[in-house]
Each structure stands twice: as C-alpha cells, then as structure tokens.
Amino acid sequence: MLTCFYKKYLGIDCPGCGMQRATNALLVGDLETSLALYPMLIPILMMFVFLALHLKFKFAMGHKILIFFFIGNSAGILLSWVCKLWG
C-alpha cells in the first residue's frame, strides 16, 4: 500500500484515505468491509463505468448524467471526509 502524504506529514486523513484498502476488500469480495472503509468507492466506480459506456455509445444525455455523478461524488467524498475528521 502507498503511504498517504497527508497522513504522513500532516497527521490527518486525506479525502481519499481508505480507498486502497476498500478497493482490495472489494476485489476479494468483501463488500461490507469495502463500504466501511470508503463508502464512496462504489459510486466512483459507477461513474467511471458510465463514462466508459458514454464514450463508446454517445448517450444523448450522457454529459448531464456525468455532471450529476461528478457533483454527487464530490459532495459525498467531502461529506465523508468531514465526518471522518470529526468522528
């Protein structure tokens, strides 16, 4: 696992802390642990899958859906990070 710059030098979790461990847990099939470590991993993966499909098939409203995904994921990451810092 890569060392987190924020954690190492600033002593606080970054907004992406836990994503590597969550990805590893998801790859071995442990969905519950993955969601506990980094709840936004599944929505981020869904966004990238939709992006790949949109690039291939050129959906009519795909760009608007991707904007919705991006804003929602960004807000979710920020909210999750704030909760982690205060919790």
- Each domain of the chain, given as residue ranges in start order, spans 5-86
Q: What is the pLDDT of residues 5-18, one digit of tens each?
A: 999 999 999 999 99
Would you say how long the chain is, in residues? Answer: 87
Could you report how far apart the first and last alpha carbons of the chain are, in Å? Answer: 24
Q: What is the pLDDT of residues 32-64, one digit of tens each?
A: 999 999 999 999 999 999 999 999 999 999 999
Task: Answer yes or no: are the C-beta atoms of 68 and 51 closer than 8 Å.
Answer: no
pTM for this predicted structure: 0.91
